[in-house]
């Protein structure tokens, strides 16, 4: 799934917003941090780069391997999710249903996953007033592509969800979500069997309030194979 999590799971938008992002200068264009398999960026100016510099978020910040949160190893069981392009949405509906003690048939899981995807489409693409409530998601989307192009793609059932959709759905469903990496992926070749939290969404909904009950967290496992599974 092409998303900001593919760079190691750090919410780059939050870094830029709160001023914690650090930059480094390089003498040649570099690939986008959110698309690690992309080729070197095309030159913005013709000619050589001998007297030009380009800025990128420093790798140590983009991956954030040294933060206190990412050092905590947790243990869960993995529930595999079908990898048909819906895996983020499938894992999310599966987790929310399990938290309520509701079993889902394969057909219900697929249909509910599509409903979540279309709910994001409705909020972002079809309701300008609602869209204003999801500024962070809009920024995440338009960093990679135009909003028009995004709205064309999200209508397809094989659309890959990621950072933008988690920003929307955590708020829309009032659902706390934590995304993890396998320990062995996070430590670059290590052999640990645990899981390390790398991003959190909708944390306020896990606490509850006078008007609402606290909700159980849905824990998603993101792997380097661009796939989401569920942790329980």
Q: Which residues are catalytic?
A: 84, 87, 227
* CB-CB neighbours of 140 under 10 Å: 23
Residues ≥6 apart with Cβ < 8 Å to 129: none
- At 200 the three-state DSSP class reads strand
- CA count, 13 A, side-chain hemisphere, 44: 6
Ramachandran category for residue 55: left, alpha or beta (phi over 0 → left; psi -120 to 50 → alpha): beta
Would you say the C-alpha torsion 45, 49, 51, 55 has a positive or negative sign? positive
């Amino acid at each position: 799934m092409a998303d900001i999590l593919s760079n190691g799971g750090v919410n780059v938008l939050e870094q830029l917003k709160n001023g914690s992002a650090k930059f480094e200068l390089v003498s040649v264009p570099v690939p986008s941090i959110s698309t690690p398999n992309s080729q070197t960026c095309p030159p913005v100016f013709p000619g050589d780069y001998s007297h030009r510099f380009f800025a990128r978020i420093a790798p140590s910040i983009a991956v954030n391997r040294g933060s206190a949160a990412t050092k905590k190893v947790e243990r869960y069981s993995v529930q595999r999710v079908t990898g048909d392009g819906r895996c983020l949405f499938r894992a999310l509906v599966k987790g929310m249903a399990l938290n309520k003690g509701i079993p889902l048939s394969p057909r219900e899981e697929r249909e509910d996953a599509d409903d979540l995807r279309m709910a994001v489409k409705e909020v972002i693409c079809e309701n300008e007033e609602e869209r204003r409530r999801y500024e962070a998601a809009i920024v995440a989307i338009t960093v990679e592509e135009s909003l028009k192009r995004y709205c064309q793609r999200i209508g397809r059932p094989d659309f890959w969800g990621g950072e933008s959709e988690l920003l929307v759905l955590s708020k829309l469903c009032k659902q706390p979500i934590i995304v993890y990496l396998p320990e062995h992926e996070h430590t670059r070749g290590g052999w640990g069997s645990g899981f390390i939290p790398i991003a959190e969404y909708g944390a306020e909904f896990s606490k509850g309030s006078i008007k609402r009950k606290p909700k159980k967290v849905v824990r998603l496992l993101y792997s380097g194979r661009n796939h989401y599974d569920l942790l329980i």
